[in-house]
Chain A
């Protein structure tokens, strides 16, 4: 029986369906992982058998050196009295381990292991350092076997200990889940302030820089270090999509154009050329195409970005064939669009034996595969396809059986080749209850509720304590700067992002508003493009904007809703370069709330062209202590010219 089949359900909670309970007897490994691991064990055992024959049956210095080199990396060096080389081999194995994970160099450890054996054999009759030629350390035979056994034993013990520790928590967790109450998502729209305007302006400046410009992002290596341009672009795209949907549905012109530019920046070679290196090292494949094979960390994220873009703006620009063309440095082109990216993600899911497909070759991350599922689901919502339905069962089976651990958390990473997982240091403990920008809400709502409940166990108390500190709508904390993920700088905003995220999780509106306000006050830099208005790196800034602008819709809600044509009057055109339109939305479908700010100085005669009004209907515009009236023409359009010298909040409403 699989974990999926054995899941229990608690009693319905008062405000929603019941929360799934954790299985009480989960297996240590899923079927695919177990098979992969057994294959690895079989290979290792075969080698150990050969090694034992060489060491104990064949005998002789050369055979023993070879045998001990097989038993443990560098083991032969100890036998030929070269301890320095033995230590060097151990260090090299660690480097190879990092390369295995970091750049998918699957051959690194076997290469080091084999190379150490070859060198050791060469040294059998060679000179020695500090000891006489012809010296052999017979005592190394038991030592090498002990080292090998200790290494394997410690690995197994650590895994088993973690499994048992988590298993012991299951009854308590299930008791908690039976009674857990989930707070409702905070959907109250915020009143936008100066910081929102600064952030929006930064987004526009970022988007409207020259097409090949990536100013404003953090630069560094593109594999794992936290300076990946792709994720920085993703987060800015998502944040702008939320702003477009939540605050500018009735004035989409400028933000849609800006979002288009940001999405197109994903095709910049600097953003995706890392893939060629990974594909060569990990797949021995020279194809630089960033979408076709693996690389879910790019394809799925980009698919989800386009989902959000389409859900926010209704634009079908990226549905056009070839609308996202990736050009390799030799001029080869890889033409994609929303549909073909979706198809590539789906095909990769279908071809993966594990069920999840890799980011870096051979390594499948849960978070990236959640994004892959989101990419399919969002496309289905937007275009009526059924890709997610086709892969969902297998995907969920993989999640629940291959990646889950007894306490409801999921392993961050798993090898598609050997079925191993470990803590890469990227996320705390190497596990999480939910991840991805939607945290399972759209793809597996039941899992989302359980994950939220489990996250709340750790967060509720801390958030309650913080909430108690709110005074005068502020949270007067001086939080220390924390290092960014790329470790090249620290940022004062990062702890605030955690608090804002926590406040959203626990549904504490008071704490949320106070944290948003205080974070801007304490971390504002006053900087303008290309400087950032807040003390944080580009990735952090994207996360912060996401959290600020996640009401009434957050990313999951936006993608589950899809595009909805806005009701009420639309701001069709204005002098976008002179004025910053920070809000344009209709609450009742008849009027329009409009917030304007001069960009670089007072605008004395700003023309506002409205559309989608009731033809022939008189309207009035209220705000800044004055009223002006217009009548919509037969096409439902009207022009208004007003001075914008200070920030203005206006309402355009029918006069009768």
Chain B
């Protein structure tokens, strides 16, 4: 695990570099350098005057690269686009400064417009999802799930999370267990890991789970599907991982995946994981203004975004079951959970939040909230159903996750 000091040094280097490189470009390469520096801020920004089509291409590529970076950890792609656009600006930009023509002014006004339009498109997409017709379609899809029977309709990441939670909520009925195990053995899980490994880090090899992929390795471990040597590697890597647990995708540590991985690691014999993950939950991934971060980027140790309420609730509820966090999160989660309970289970996020709230209520003495949260029927979303099972288990035995599981107990016996 990296120390805070080393991360601070890295951040300082990045900050200095962020100032020094543009300054060098501007001061050392004149007008051409100014254009190159613009690409460090917005890829393609330095080409908008002279090569607008190329600028747009870089902008689109940068957007795709950003998605690839955030979603699959393909961090080199964004660097590549920035470097390429900067070099292109250096090669293609006239060394002589432009005259202040009206055309120049118009172009500079158009570029921010692109940003605004892009933002508007994002907002419109989000708002459209709330429109009655479209919202109804989304709800219809959510209602079409039939609990754990539809676990294979989830994305690979959610499938893994679901399998982990089912494992924690054991014992499960035999048929259901088979389905969950089957979904972990499905080639899709390994295929995704292999593709991301290749794309993000150029990894090839027989074991796609050799590094990172916390969600998948946690699920395989908790369901008893991770071989002994892979388990040992899982534990070893966690000990030196920046976040105290392996990342979900290269360089990204996410709260729920991290928590599930930490539980799996502790069950696999990692004595230090509790301390490391507690340090993360109380440090870099602690609550700020009522939210925990959506992810933590390992190279610089910076947190980003806000975790969706359900993920926040689920991760901290499981952490609470492991006694890694205190009850502080409940104060901010309570109104969100109650709101979800009032809205009902028509969206998977609400259903998961309700179920995660029930897990929390296994530890919190809050009868008014319990009376409200118990009313909705959690039966559609597989993760929600798994969390609901876990809640029931923890209500009966709040210490169920803290103990080393009995070999005869449910799914971990495999």
Residue of A210, A327, A329, A333 with most partner-chain B CB within 10 A: A327
Alpha-carbon distance A43/B281, docked complex (angstroms): 65
Alpha-carbon distance A16/B377, docked complex (angstroms): 54
**Chain A minimum-CB-distance residue to B372:** A327
Bitwise interface map of B from 3 to 21 toward A, beta carbon under 8 Å scored 1, else 0:
0000000000000000000
Alpha-carbon distance A142/B345, docked complex (angstroms): 61
Q: Given A212-B344, A322-B368, A335-B368: A329 and B375 within 8 A (CB)?
A: no
CB distance from A351 to the nearest CB of B (A): 28
Q: Which B residues lie within 8 Å of A328 (CB)?
A: 339, 342
Bitwise interface map of B from 334 to 350 toward A, beta carbon under 8 Å scored 1, else 0:
11111111111100000
Residue B376 CB within 8 A of the other chain: yes
Residue B374 CB within 8 A of the other chain: yes
CB distance from B389 to the nearest CB of A (A): 17
CB distance from B372 to the nearest CB of A (A): 6
Contact check, B338 vs A269: say whether CB atoms are below 8 A apart: no
Alpha-carbon distance A269/B372, docked complex (angstroms): 11
Q: Which B residues lie within 8 Å of A330 (CB)?
A: 335, 339
Q: Given A212-B345, A325-B368: A331 and B374 within 8 A (CB)?
A: no
Alpha-carbon distance A331/B343, docked complex (angstroms): 9
CB distance from A59 to the nearest CB of B (A): 48
- Which B residues, 358 to 396, have Cβ-Cβ distances below 8 Å to chain A? 368, 371-372, 374-377
**Chain B minimum-CB-distance residue to A213:** B377
Alpha-carbon distance A270/B374, docked complex (angstroms): 17
Contact check, B343 vs A332: say whether CB atoms are below 8 A apart: no
**Chain B minimum-CB-distance residue to A331:** B335
Contact check, B339 vs A211: say whether CB atoms are below 8 A apart: no
| Size category, A interface | 10 to 19
CB distance from B342 to the nearest CB of A (A): 4
Q: Which B residues lie within 8 Å of A211 (CB)?
A: 374-377
Q: Which B residues lie within 8 Å of A213 (CB)?
A: 377
CB distance from A265 to the nearest CB of B (A): 9
Q: Given A212-B344, A212-B345: A325 and B339 within 8 A (CB)?
A: no
Alpha-carbon distance A210/B336, docked complex (angstroms): 22
Q: Which B residues lie within 8 Å of A329 (CB)?
A: 339, 342-343
Contact check, B375 vs A331: say whether CB atoms are below 8 A apart: no
Which single member of B338, B343, B376 contacts A333 (CB below 8 Å)? B338
Residue of B342, B371, B375 with most partner-chain A CB within 10 A: B342
Alpha-carbon distance A333/B342, docked complex (angstroms): 10
Q: Which B residues lie within 8 Å of A322 (CB)?
A: 368
Contact check, A212 vs B376: say whether CB atoms are below 8 A apart: yes
Contact check, A212 vs B375: say whether CB atoms are below 8 A apart: yes
Contact check, B338 vs A331: say whether CB atoms are below 8 A apart: yes
Q: Which A residues lie within 8 Å of B340 (CB)?
A: 331
**Chain A minimum-CB-distance residue to B368:** A322
CB distance from A318 to the nearest CB of B (A): 13
CB distance from A344 to the nearest CB of B (A): 19
Contact check, A331 vs B377: say whether CB atoms are below 8 A apart: no
Contact check, A327 vs B342: say whether CB atoms are below 8 A apart: yes
- Which A residues, 325 to 368, have Cβ-Cβ distances below 8 Å to chain B? 325, 327-333, 335
Q: Which A residues lie within 8 Å of B343 (CB)?
A: 269, 329
Alpha-carbon distance A212/B337, docked complex (angstroms): 15
Residue of B334, B336, B339 with most partner-chain A CB within 10 A: B339
Bitwise interface map of A from 205 to 227 toward B, beta carbon under 8 Å scored 1, else 0:
00000111100000000000000
CB distance from A400 to the nearest CB of B (A): 42
CB distance from B258 to the nearest CB of A (A): 26
Q: Which B residues lie within 8 Å of A332 (CB)?
A: 335, 339
**Chain B minimum-CB-distance residue to A328:** B342
Contact check, B342 vs A269: say whether CB atoms are below 8 A apart: yes
Q: Which A residues lie within 8 Å of B374 (CB)?
A: 211
Alpha-carbon distance A327/B376, docked complex (angstroms): 13
CB distance from A540 to the nearest CB of B (A): 27
- Which A residues, 291 to 343, have Cβ-Cβ distances below 8 Å to chain B? 322, 325, 327-333, 335
Contact check, A331 vs B342: say whether CB atoms are below 8 A apart: yes
Alpha-carbon distance A330/B342, docked complex (angstroms): 8
CB distance from B161 to the nearest CB of A (A): 24
Alpha-carbon distance A117/B345, docked complex (angstroms): 48
Contact check, A325 vs B376: say whether CB atoms are below 8 A apart: no
Residue of B335, B341, B375, B377 with most partner-chain A CB within 10 A: B375
Alpha-carbon distance A335/B372, docked complex (angstroms): 11
**Chain A minimum-CB-distance residue to B371:** A325
Alpha-carbon distance A332/B334, docked complex (angstroms): 10
CB distance from B174 to the nearest CB of A (A): 25
Alpha-carbon distance A332/B339, docked complex (angstroms): 7
**Chain B minimum-CB-distance residue to A330:** B339
Alpha-carbon distance A213/B338, docked complex (angstroms): 17
Q: Which A residues lie within 8 Å of B341 (CB)?
A: 327
Contact check, A333 vs B377: say whether CB atoms are below 8 A apart: no
CB distance from A233 to the nearest CB of B (A): 15
Contact check, B377 vs A210: say whether CB atoms are below 8 A apart: yes
Alpha-carbon distance A329/B341, docked complex (angstroms): 8
CB distance from A401 to the nearest CB of B (A): 42
Contact check, B368 vs A331: say whether CB atoms are below 8 A apart: no
Which single member of A210, A269, A331, A335 contacts B337 (CB below 8 Å)? A331
Q: Given A269-B344, A327-B342, A328-B342: A333 and B368 within 8 A (CB)?
A: yes
**Chain B minimum-CB-distance residue to A323:** B371
CB distance from B118 to the nearest CB of A (A): 29
Contact check, B334 vs A331: say whether CB atoms are below 8 A apart: yes
Alpha-carbon distance A327/B343, docked complex (angstroms): 9
Alpha-carbon distance A333/B336, docked complex (angstroms): 11
Alpha-carbon distance A335/B368, docked complex (angstroms): 10
Alpha-carbon distance A140/B337, docked complex (angstroms): 62
Alpha-carbon distance A325/B366, docked complex (angstroms): 14
CB distance from B3 to the nearest CB of A (A): 39
Q: Which B residues lie within 8 Å of A264 (CB)?
A: 375
- Which B residues, 20 to 39, have Cβ-Cβ distances below 8 Å to chain A? none
Alpha-carbon distance A269/B374, docked complex (angstroms): 15
Alpha-carbon distance A333/B344, docked complex (angstroms): 15
**Chain A minimum-CB-distance residue to B333:** A331
Q: Which B residues lie within 8 Å of A327 (CB)?
A: 338-339, 341-342, 372
**Chain A minimum-CB-distance residue to B379:** A210
CB distance from B364 to the nearest CB of A (A): 15
Q: Which B residues lie within 8 Å of A210 (CB)?
A: 377
Alpha-carbon distance A330/B368, docked complex (angstroms): 16
Alpha-carbon distance A325/B339, docked complex (angstroms): 12
What are 21 A-to-B residue pairs whose CB atoms are below 8 Å?
A212-B377, A213-B377, A270-B344, A322-B368, A325-B368, A325-B371, A325-B372, A327-B338, A327-B372, A329-B339, A330-B335, A330-B339, A331-B334, A331-B336, A331-B337, A331-B338, A331-B340, A332-B335, A333-B338, A333-B368, A335-B368
Interface residues of B (CB under 8 A from A): 334-345, 368, 371-372, 374-377
5 pairs of A and B residues whose beta carbons are closest in the complex: A331-B335, A331-B339, A327-B342, A211-B375, A210-B377
Supplied contacts A211-B374, A332-B335, A333-B368, 7 more A-B pairs, CB within 8 Å:
A211-B376, A269-B343, A327-B341, A328-B342, A331-B337, A332-B339, A335-B368
Interface residues of A (CB under 8 A from B): 210-213, 264, 269-270, 322, 325, 327-333, 335
